[in-house]
Chain A
Amino acid sequence: MIVEFISRAILLSIPLLYGATGEILTEKSGHLNLGIPGIMYGGAIGGVIGAFLYENACGNAAENMNPILTILIPLLTSILFSVLMGLIYSFMTVTLRANQNVTGLALTTFGIGLGNFFGGSLVKLVQSDLPSIALTKTSKIFKAELPFAKDLGWFGEIFLSHDFLAYAAIAIALIATFILNRTRVGLNLRAVGENPATADAAGINVTAYKYIATCIGSAVAGLGGLQYVMAYADGVWSNNAFGDRGWMAIALVIFALWKPSMAILGAFLFGALCNANNYVQGLGTETQELFKMLPYVVTLIVLIITSLRKKREHQPPESLGLPYFREER
């Protein structure tokens, strides 16, 4: 049971990790993107649309489907959706200098509406009895696991039994950590988020960094939505099933103190806490809900501790949420 618990926690943690890594990249450029829940939702529906179209094009027959295309098409449509939403956000907040919180919240509402619109349309299109759409054939290919994982007992189940997007999430988080801390691009990006005037004076193209960080961050976050549908939900899309994972990803950013490598551990902890209610005996419905609060409680505790300690490295990027305009006097 403990093995199943851990394996399940990892599965739950992956969308959060994607969301948090994406949000960290964006926040490092000084932009608090509260549109992440919407972008993750948009990334999910984008992938669903791609997969749906490809499955239909193959006549809904598994033997016609090319495994590489089955993965590539939803991946690209997912990224297309989330990057477009990232572009909207960047255009509003970087070029037009609109309020970041308002823009982000609007984008979240927009993303969920967009997802539900397309989701509902697809359900209607297939004339399904259930209010959901199942892409099990695509999901099967997404969830392909290593052939020898089953032979390795608990080790295999915990570490090797996951879908490739789960490993990609951890790889992306590690790569993001490396880029932020060990490369010139990372140094420049962090400078943009901390103090854009300084970065500008140092000859860094602040606008380009903000746009690119936001769009790459959105793409990464959108993959979280895709992974949720294809791996966690076995390819079944139903409106609003994604829940509050997007908000949890934003909480995770704070918990991880803006470090993608910390987000890996944090995501696992969040996944475990979200899941704990299913493994603790004798919980009623009301106490289950209390358990679901735990990730937020932990985030609050971390926030209180870091605020008290006031260590500068653990604070958010200094100009997070502030628009930058060079000629302001």
Chain B
Amino acid sequence: MANQAAIELKNITKTFGSVVANKNVNLRANRGEILSILGENGSGKTTLMNMISGIYFPDEGEIFIDGEPAVIASPKDAFDYKIGMIHQHFKLVDVFSAAENIILGLEEQGRYNLKAAEERISAICDQYGFELDPKKKIYTMAVSEKQTVEIIKVLYRGADILILDEPTAVLTPQETQKLFAVLRRMREDGKCIIIITHKLHEVLSLSDKVAVLRKGEYVGTVETAKTSEAELTEMMVGKKISLNIERSEPKDAQVRLEVHHVDCSNREGTLVLDDVSFHVNAGEILGIAGIAGSGQRELLEVIAGLQKSDSGAVLYHNPKTGNVDNLQNKTPLQIRELGVRLSFVPEDRLGMGLVGNMDITDNMMLRSYRRGKSAFLERKGPKDLAEKIIEDLEVVTPGATTPVRRLSGGNVQKVLVGREIAASPTVLMAAYPVRGLDINSSYTIYNLLNQQKEKGVAVIFVGEDLDVLLELCDRILVIGSGKVTGILDGRTATKEQVGLLMTKTEGGEQK
């Protein structure tokens, strides 16, 4: 029993369409042990864990539980193997009480008895040191309480292999410490705990072993006691790969856009941007690097006038008039009336950027319809523009009248970027513009961004691939949990430097 792994994965592979999410992953976790799974965004951590908990089924490979081969085809099978997963996005019914959520879907013998369940929940709370009122409704709870409900839910089902998907992403440092204390108590109780994270200091302070994934591939497992932050970062980001993206020297740099001490909170009242300050010059590409959800989206939306900020200023230096205008908390229309030519290529192409059911011409018109003088739409200009984009950017489409949603991801992006560039912007913001694109389309986009830069446009590029950021951008701003953790020179920065700044969080600084 002692050297028998509680769970072992052998050569697990999973693909979604043409995207390989996991490739030949091997993993081992024992009882009485905390294993961390470390990796960047899109490295396949969550996909891997979803295969253990029955949400996805692996295309290839085997899973062993206590040495026995196991087939986990549904979440129910996972329960039967005593595997419990705590998802990053809580799976709770808001109008139910904690106890109702915990017993949901259980097939217990005997009558439905909420009282007995509540008593058992209280007993579990006492055993591991949780604080929870089983009668409390979920929608009145704070995030950390909801997480507690999720953890008790799997314990109530008798799980002894617990998987936690980025449990600390939503917690304050104090709550994190509390959670870690609970997890340590569970480890002493002989449970096997797997925790997905990208925060290095947590890995080092909590886990016994660390398994690292990079771009879906398994890099290796090391013992925490025998490793260091530097080694883990290198395993996580990998060696630098040369992409040969052209990069010209910025010419006569003058400040185009300044962001001063911007704070912004989301609907739940959590601070998503915390005192963010930086500037962008005309004729340069500023890269923004960071773990997904660190505030990149909010930052761009604050600049574009799509999101209100709590305080701070967004100053635009108008090259024509020489005026400096504050764009903070103005609507996109007001911004345009100030004569600011701002183009935004959003992350959600078909949600925010284009209308999927409309054709290319109509999508061009979305940006120009205001210019029309008569009551009728002027279709000639947009149609010419659509045809020009199709020709110049080599968009593969049957014609300008094809609905955009029928185009492939790369072609959709070309249409969107083409339209935004056609507005001859002075500031161009692009969020993950090459996500899901093949190599050739990606290079087309890089070239377009470079052309804009040479025309003197201030380009903001939010990216996830560090290799691209390091080769394309003149400067790289790193954002972590809504804070600017560093601004680096794109020509001299190393991958490790960026990686370390990305994972640097409040908790790490306090130590």
Contacts and interface: CB of A to CB of B under 8 A. Distances in A.
Contact of A182 (B94, B95, B101, B112): B112
Nearest to A203: B76
A188 B94 contact: no
B99 to A, nearest CB: 10
B74 A203 contact: yes
Chain B CB within 10 Å, residue with most, of A187, A201, A329: A201
Interface string A169-190: 0000000000000111001101
A203 B104 CA distance: 9
Interface in B68-93: 74-76, 79, 87, 91-93
Contact of A187 (B76, B79, B103): B103
A198 B76 contact: no
A200 B75 contact: yes
A104 B92 CA distance: 29
Contact of A194 (B76, B96, B112): B96
A194 B94 contact: yes
Nearest to B77: A203
Contacts of B16: 329
Nearest to A329: B16
Contacts of A188: 104-105
A102 to B, nearest CB: 16
Given A182-B112, A202-B105, A191 B96 contact: yes
A203 B105 contact: yes
Contact of A191 (B75, B76, B105): B105
Contacts of A194: 93-96
A190 B101 CA distance: 11
Contacts of A315: 95
Say whether chain B's binding surface is mostly helix, strand, loop, or mixed: loop
B383 interface: no
A197 interface: yes
A312 B94 contact: yes
Contact of A204 (B55, B92, B104): B104
B323 to A, nearest CB: 44
A318 interface: yes
Contacts of B139: 312
A199 B94 contact: no
Interface residues of A, number: 24
A199 B56 CA distance: 16
A214 B119 CA distance: 35
B137 interface: yes
B100 interface: yes
A198 B91 contact: yes
B94 A318 contact: yes
Contacts of B112: 182-184, 187
A195 interface: yes
A184 B91 CA distance: 18
Given A198-B104, A203-B105, A190 B93 contact: yes
Contacts of A326: 55
Nearest to B89: A197
Interface residues of B, number: 23
A204 to B, nearest CB: 5
A197 B91 contact: yes
Interface in B88-142: 91-96, 100-101, 103-106, 112, 137, 139
Contacts of B91: 195, 197-198, 201-202
Nearest to A183: B112
Contacts of B106: 184, 202
A313 interface: yes
Nearest to B104: A202
B104 A199 contact: yes
Contacts of A318: 94-95
Contacts of B103: 184, 187
A201 B93 contact: no
A187 B104 contact: yes
B95 A313 contact: yes
A106 to B, nearest CB: 21
A201 B56 CA distance: 11
A195 B92 contact: yes
A187 B100 contact: yes
B303 to A, nearest CB: 29
Contacts of B56: 327
A315 B94 CA distance: 11
A30 to B, nearest CB: 12
B416 to A, nearest CB: 21
Contacts of B96: 187, 190-191, 194
Contacts of B79: 203
Given A184-B112, A312-B137, A201 B95 contact: no
Chain B CB within 10 Å, residue with most, of A183, A200, A315: A200
A128 to B, nearest CB: 51
Nearest to B100: A187
Contact of A198 (B55, B74, B93, B137): B93
Contacts of B92: 195, 198
Nearest to B79: A203
Contacts of A200: 75
Contacts of A182: 112
Contacts of A187: 96, 100, 103-104, 112
A199 B74 CA distance: 13
A195 B105 CA distance: 13
A199 B104 CA distance: 7
A1 B16 CA distance: 71
Nearest to A194: B93
Contacts of A195: 91-94
B117 to A, nearest CB: 11
Contacts of A191: 93, 96, 104-105
A312 B137 CA distance: 10
A40 to B, nearest CB: 29
Nearest to A186: B112
A187 B104 CA distance: 7
Given A195-B94, A203-B75, 5 more contacts: A183-B112, A187-B112, A191-B93, A203-B74, A312-B95
Leading 10 A-B pairs by shortest Cβ distance: A202-B105, A203-B76, A198-B91, A203-B105, A184-B112, A194-B93, A202-B104, A204-B105, A201-B91, A195-B93
Interface of B: 16, 55-56, 74-76, 79, 87, 91-96, 100-101, 103-106, 112, 137, 139
Interface of A: 182-184, 187-188, 190-191, 194-195, 197-204, 312-313, 315, 318, 326-327, 329
10 contacts: A184-B106, A187-B103, A188-B104, A201-B75, A202-B106, A203-B75, A203-B79, A204-B105, A312-B94, A313-B95
